[in-house]
Amino acid sequence: MKWEMVVGLETHVELATKSKIFCSCSTQFGGDPNSHCCPVCTGQPGALPFLNRQAVEYTVMAGLALNCEINRYSKMDRKHYVYPDLPKAFQVSQFDIPLCINGHLELSGGKMININRIQLEEDAGKLIHEGGKILVDYNRAGVPLIEIVTEPDFRSAEEVVEYLEKLQGILRTIGISDCRMQEGSLRCDVNISVREEGSSQLGTRAEIKNLNSFSFVQAAIEYEFDRQTGLLEAGKPVFQETLSFDSVSGKTLNMREKEDADDYRFFPDPDIPAIILSEEDIKRLRECIPELPEARIKRYVSEYRLPEADATLICKYKKVADFFDKASEGLKNPAVAASFILTQMFSKISTEVAREQWASPIPPEFLRDLVLLLEEKKINHNLAKNIFTKMLEEGKAPKSILEAEGISTDEVIDLDELCKSAVYTNPGAVEDYKKGKKKALQALIGNVMRQSRGRADAEEARKILLELLKE
């Protein structure tokens, strides 16, 4: 019997507001435990919340970027459960009227992943297991979150990872979250079930909680699919449960029985007024949405003639793509600028966080000026690479580096004359070449490059020298 995987996702994304959702405490990652807390976010009696306007706007922007309908009337609800990381014994979330509904995200093969809802809520604290004790850090409690809930449209772990990568790129591009999985600002819950291939009936699902890397997501889904199919083939039932993923063993582990909505006793939060958005609010936020990665990739491929893989890698980081756009202004072949970014700059700025922040040692105009010198054939590619290395080390413009090296780009290179000089002053190399020693040609090319101080085009010199050696 063939089995089919059915997966839906709940992705939790911390919003990049400076203060928490219901108080003025900092949302900055890290800090001493319980140093970013106040009576509101720790649920002290009599403390009243006030809703962060920017958190609402960021949620709407996420909805617009993901093709959602925006509810002009929305509200906040209390979701009740008792756990040490939740000091109020309820989480403020959204139940029946979330801010965003009915969206979608398209995968590379054209498959559409439908988004059921995007809701605004508060994050919980963090439990730390240490020396047999459980410690609680409430710095994260009250940080604004959005939960993006898909329909069960995924049929493979690869589809899930592609969706998450595209989602991460979109949310970073619109500037509402850094989506750093290693810091917990993007976390994923996977709802997975198995059914007989061709069946329309859903199987019993399990939920794998708090996956915080793409590799863990893929490994957890693949393991759980094998576990559930193994149970079904053995004639055993699959139980609805909440699981964790142990990255060391590569297995899912039972946490508790799965809760349903009725277990949470949702009701409207009496302390938070309804959220009412005007058409003008939505229009203003729509105008804040920049060019999204998918559109940018298509533009780079069609207009700049970049390979799709290069365009995708540049568009993974918004600041890198912005840098590339500025560096490409006025260039005949922007792909050359892309090559410098993807090789020498990415080698120097090598981590995900560093590329996301993109503290470039040079402005994009310096890279553009270097490529223009190449296009005008005032320098060759090898010299350009050496100059670019020094630009990145010293933060200087290409002409400043060249002047320091004693190389003038204003001096016209007469390549014909340089090649004739090489032939005339190296009779031994000429004789060797005519006797069949092909390596002698390289000595002549080297002479041309020395005369031009590395500015000549070696390939063009090769062609001219071969013509001269026929004579």
Which CA distances in Å does 146 have to 28, 122, 185, 287, 459? 17, 8, 10, 21, 56
- Give the dihedral sign, CA 341/346/352/354: negative
Per the domain annotation, does 53 fall within a domain?
Answer: yes
Per the domain annotation, does 409 fall within a domain?
Answer: no
User: Are residue 276 and residue 349 in the same domain, yes or no?
Assistant: no
| Residues 318-362: tens digit of each pLDDT | 999 999 999 999 999 999 999 999 999 999 999 988 999 999 999
User: Are residue 266 and residue 304 in the same domain, yes or no?
Assistant: no
User: Are residue 225 and residue 373 in the same domain, yes or no?
Assistant: no
CATH number of 455's domain = 1.10.10.410
Per the domain annotation, does 275 fall within a domain?
Answer: yes
Residue that is last in its domain, among 369, 404, 439: 404
CA 165-171-175 angle, 5° bins: 140
Per the domain annotation, does 399 fall within a domain?
Answer: yes
pLDDT tops 70 at residue 471: no
Report the Cα 419 to chain-centroid distance in Å: 49
- CA–CA separation, 397 vs 415, rounded Å? 26
User: Are residue 281 and residue 332 in the same domain, yes or no?
Assistant: no
**360: containing domain:** 293-404
Whole-number pLDDT of residue 409: 64
Query: If you average pLDDT over every residue of the chain, what do you get?
Result: 91
Whole-number pLDDT of residue 444: 78
Whole-number pLDDT of residue 301: 96
Whole-number pLDDT of residue 430: 72
Residue that is last in its domain, among 263, 285, 307: 285
Whole-number pLDDT of residue 260: 62
- The CA dihedral of 387, 392, 398, 404, to the nearest 10 degrees, is -70
pTM: 0.84
User: Are residue 279 and residue 319 in the same domain, yes or no?
Assistant: no
- CA–CA separation, 176 vs 14, rounded Å? 9
User: Are residue 71 and residue 197 in the same domain, yes or no?
Assistant: yes
User: Are residue 181 and residue 33 in the same domain, yes or no?
Assistant: yes
Task: Please give, one letter per residue, the 3-state secondary structure of 324-345.
Answer: HHHHCCCCCCHHHHHHHHHHHH
Whole-number pLDDT of residue 411: 61
CB 297 within 8 A of CB 98: no
Query: Count H helices, E strands: the chain?
Result: 17, 16
Residue found by looking up tokens 């398209």 in the block: 106
Tally the domains of the chain. Answer: 3
| Residues 92-124: tens digit of each pLDDT | 999 999 999 999 999 998 999 999 999 999 999
Phi, psi of 19 (to 5 degrees): -120, 165
What is the average pLDDT across 165-177? Answer: 96
Whole-number pLDDT of residue 192: 96
pLDDT-derived band at 129, boundaries 50, 70, 90: confident
